[in-house]
Structure 1
């Protein structure tokens, strides 16, 4: 499948898309489109790429993606293998600013929403109370039509523009990439996500993209602001954090399950990039869980 510029069809009687999509593996490749996009992950877990940002996604995650911002959601092999009857799902709203009329967002009342759209060029992830409120609005109104459908979108945008419970994702703005460029990046992401538990070399990635090793290194660094090795290490550490949060596997088991070949290297990389040792990270997360339940 080619990751391409995607032309989104609008449903009859609506100026924007508001649908729940269910997919065996989120097959939509690395792609971009003119529309802004609100994504509520409504089932499954895996990896997400937003601009030059890569991290895990899980059910309940809520994002706003700017127009022409390349992105990809890929269900994890574990979910696909262990959940034969449940498929990854997402509630998606896709809209253009022009859908509301040429001058709608120029109104003074829309100043915070305009600022929200500017931040969305980097991708935004929401958390906390605002995420819960927006999740409820989306689920309650997905089958509505007419003004109720439109009002729900405006209410969501208002909540997103007012909250401080968010983080931007991509370190750089990435707008509109060519089909050839997208194909190369998708090939590399596919290699990393499917094989990060095993040994992967720069030479492997370079050969898949038909570039020499030096040319590939320059290309990948220009696209992601990271070296291939740093990017791969970040993916492995994201996965290790997920296992530390959600499983009772030992630190040694997590080390090898995340693609690190020895415990000392795992501990060193974790401390360097996360800021603490893996066991401290796990204790801190579980302490927060206890505090939130009390």
Structure 2
């Protein structure tokens, strides 16, 4: 079965993403992404799949995967049963790590860990406890504290015992051409989604006819082109509503919408409340939740 591409959009002005989710969940499937991922399983037992590896997993399971290696955790639950917070996840891009290495030569000591992550690695009990404590703290830590916790955890894991999961012959880049094209397209969209972005122009960038590009984009993202653009714009709108004093109208145009009524309608569909109510709930710490969930 072909893995799906997961689209990871970190919050602006943050170098990495830390979040938690339940099960079943839209990302709990056979998938891949160009980011590194540290995955901690809080609850349930079942099977984990990393590349060509299949094994048992249970509470405390801690796995680190590299760019584009498919992975999934499948819990053994009775039909209709769900878990509110099964997974703790830390995700960061290769470019971020490269920038860190360029600025701080000492950061190079984690290179072995990053190289091994290409095939997925699993850690032991001591690392599981350390990762759970640190990642849980990162969920609510201030920006500077988050960075300190991240560096401390990465340093610890670079020295922790671990075992490789996928076989040495496994090639996570088997679909390299497809991955390269969709990653180029998504990078271009991420840079330009606040502008007047037309699907035909992006299709031309990918050197595809319009209909073929539409099928290609939906197959790789699970969304139409317009749905994906709106997803990015609304996530950015949530950030601005929470972290700026701009008016709703200003935010509407700043994130790329050209009609306030349409913006309000799309926001209501996504958040089940108006932009003004979303801002008010955030200011009073009401039912909107935290910024960790607001941008998902």
Residues 107, 115 of structure 1: alpha-carbon distance in 2 compared, 3 angstrom cutoff: farther
Tell me the distance in 1 between the aligned counterparts of 2:158 and 2:102. 13
| Offset from partner CA, 1:263-289 (integer Å, 9 cap, x none) | xxxxxxxxxxxxxxxxxxxxxxxxxxx
Query: 1:57 corresponds to which residue?
Result: 57
Q: Is the 8 A contact 1:26 1:75 kept in 2?
A: no
Tell me the distance in 2 between the aligned counterparts of 1:175 and 1:85. 31
What TM-score do the two structures reach when normalised by structure 1?
0.54
Alignment of 1:93-104 (within 5 A): 93-99=90-96, 102=99, 104=101
Query: 2:143 corresponds to which residue?
Result: 146
Residues 143, 166 of structure 1: alpha-carbon distance in 2 compared, 3 angstrom cutoff: same
Q: Is the 8 A contact 1:70 1:174 kept in 2?
A: no
Does the alignment pair 1:133 with 2:104?
no
Query: 2:75 corresponds to which residue?
Result: 75
Tell me the distance in 1 between the aligned counterparts of 2:108 and 2:27. 36
Query: Highest relative contact order (Cα 8 Å, sep 6+), 1 or 2?
Result: 1
Q: Is the 8 A contact 2:18 2:138 kept in 1?
A: no
Does the alignment pair 1:118 with 2:151?
no
Q: Is the 8 A contact 1:53 1:170 kept in 2?
A: yes
Alignment of 1:198-217 (within 5 A): none
Q: What's the RMSD between the two structures over aligned residues?
A: 2.9
Q: Is the 8 A contact 1:2 1:29 kept in 2?
A: no
Tell me the distance in 1 between the aligned counterparts of 2:46 and 2:25. 9
> What residue ranges of structure 2 are gaps of 5+ in the alignment?
180-296
- Greater mean alpha carbon deviation, residues 125-134 or residues 30-39: 125-134
Tell me the distance in 2 between the aligned counterparts of 1:96 and 1:31. 16
Residues 130, 113 of structure 1: alpha-carbon distance in 2 compared, 3 angstrom cutoff: same
Query: 1:170 corresponds to which residue?
Result: 166
Tell me the distance in 1 between the aligned counterparts of 2:71 and 2:154. 20
Q: Secondary structure at the match of 2:4?
A: coil
Q: Secondary structure at the match of 1:63?
A: strand
Residues paired across the two proteins, number: 178
| Offset from partner CA, 1:40-97 (integer Å, 9 cap, x none) | 1112221111011101111111111011111111122xx234x836346101011013
Given the alignment, which residue of 158, 161, 168 partners 2:158?
Answer: 161
| Offset from partner CA, 1:116-143 (integer Å, 9 cap, x none) | 1001111011113222122211122221
Query: 2:243 corresponds to which residue?
Result: none
Tell me the distance in 2 between the aligned counterparts of 1:131 and 1:103. 25
Give 1:21 shift.
0.9
Query: 1:248 corresponds to which residue?
Result: none
Q: Is the 8 A contact 1:34 1:67 kept in 2?
A: yes
Q: Is the 8 A contact 2:16 2:93 kept in 1?
A: yes
> What residue ranges of structure 1 are gaps of 5+ in the alignment?
183-294
Q: Secondary structure at the match of 2:31?
A: coil
